[in-house]
């Protein structure tokens, strides 16, 4: 596998994509390919509402800061949060998503990466225990605990992100059972997962036929 230049930093939001599918991450982050479908548009419109930077009081002793820029030298991550809530000295990241909670870990990883970046800026403070994801489709606010396991998976995803970003070519399409993610992927028409697999299997068969018995 050939390697290309490794980027200095990875966008925090790209970790969400990576966890969903490394090939999709490569298309979006490395090649800057994007297909706007209704899901992408819905997500963009939702984020416009929380993409105005500022701080406001939203309840008793609760302050909200929107669109805070985060950077981690240690993890080599950068990006913006949707909202940081401050309650009794505790900072809680809140991420807004369109649709409903999925079965995958991608949203939780993105939120946990925000917490890791915040913690790096707050040396000596206790670790951030949890954050929230607000799903607009179900209008549910889901608490995500930043457990040791989730923190380890987030760090592993960051490592993988740099490895995939250094590849010369996109990784192969997902294999079952993860192919269940493909029908909802906005890049399916670009990725052509079934066609790529068919071509690969034909090539492998042709190669096998040329080998001596």
Q: Which helix (H) or strand (E) holds 43?
A: helix 38-50
> What's the min distance (Å) between Cβ of 187 and ligand SF4?
5
Residue 26 or 135: the one with the smaller Cβ distance to ligand SF4 is: 26
Residue 68 or 181: the one with the smaller Cβ distance to ligand SF4 is: 181
Characterize 149-183 residue by residue with b for buried, 16 or more Cβ atoms within 10 angstroms of its Cβ, and e for exposed.
ebbebbeebbeebeebbeeeebeebbeeeeeebbe
Q: How far apart are CA 196 and CA 192, in angstroms?
A: 6
Examine residue 174 and tell whether it contacts ligand SF4 (CB under 6 A).
Answer: yes
Examine residue 161 and tell whether it contacts ligand SF4 (CB under 6 A).
Answer: no
Examine residue 97 and tell whether it contacts ligand SF4 (CB under 6 A).
Answer: no
Q: How far apart are CA 194 and CA 144, in angstroms?
A: 34
Nearest to 150 by CA among 114, 122, 181, 202: 114
Task: Please list, in sequence order, all residues whose beta carbon lies within 8 angstroms of the beta carbon of residue 138, skipping any fewer than 6 positions away.
Answer: 100, 101
Examine residue 68 and tell whether it contacts ligand SF4 (CB under 6 A).
Answer: no
Q: How far apart are CA 26 and CA 172, in angstroms?
A: 10
Residue 93 or 193: the one with the smaller Cβ distance to ligand SF4 is: 193
Examine residue 160 and tell whether it contacts ligand SF4 (CB under 6 A).
Answer: no
Residue 50 or 174: the one with the smaller Cβ distance to ligand SF4 is: 174
Asked if 111 and 131 touch (Cβ cutoff 8 Å), the reply is yes
Residue 10 or 115: the one with the smaller Cβ distance to ligand SF4 is: 10
Count of residues touching ligand SF4 (by CB under 6 A): 12
Examine residue 30 and tell whether it contacts ligand SF4 (CB under 6 A).
Answer: no
Examine residue 21 and tell whether it contacts ligand SF4 (CB under 6 A).
Answer: yes
Binding footprint of ligand SF4 on the chain (CB under 6 A): 21, 23-24, 173-174, 181-182, 185, 187-188, 191, 193
């Amino acid at each position: 596998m050939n390697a290309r230049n490794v980027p200095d930093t990875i966008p925090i939001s790209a970790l969400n994509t990576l966890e969903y599918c490394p090939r999709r991450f490569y298309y979006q982050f490395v090649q800057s390919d994007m297909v706007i479908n209704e899901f992408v548009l819905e997500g963009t419109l939702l984020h416009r509402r929380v993409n105005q930077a500022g701080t406001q009081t939203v309840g008793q002793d609760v302050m909200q800061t929107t669109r805070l820029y985060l950077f981690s030298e240690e993890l080599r991550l950068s990006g913006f949060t949707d909202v940081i809530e401050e309650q009794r000295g505790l900072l809680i990241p809140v991420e807004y998503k369109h649709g409903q909670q999925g079965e995958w870990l991608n949203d939780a990883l993105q939120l946990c990466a925000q917490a890791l970046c915040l913690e790096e800026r707050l040396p000596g403070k206790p670790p951030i225990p949890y954050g929230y994801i607000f799903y607009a489709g179900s209008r549910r606010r889901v608490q995500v605990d930043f457990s040791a396991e989730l923190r380890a998976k987030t760090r592993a995803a960051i490592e993988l992100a740099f490895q995939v970003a250094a590849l010369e070519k996109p990784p192969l399409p997902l294999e079952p059972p993860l192919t269940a993610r493909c029908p909802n992927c906005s890049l399916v028409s670009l990725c052509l997962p079934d066609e790529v697999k068919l071509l690969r299997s034909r090539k492998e068969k042709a190669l096998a036929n040329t080998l001596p018995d």
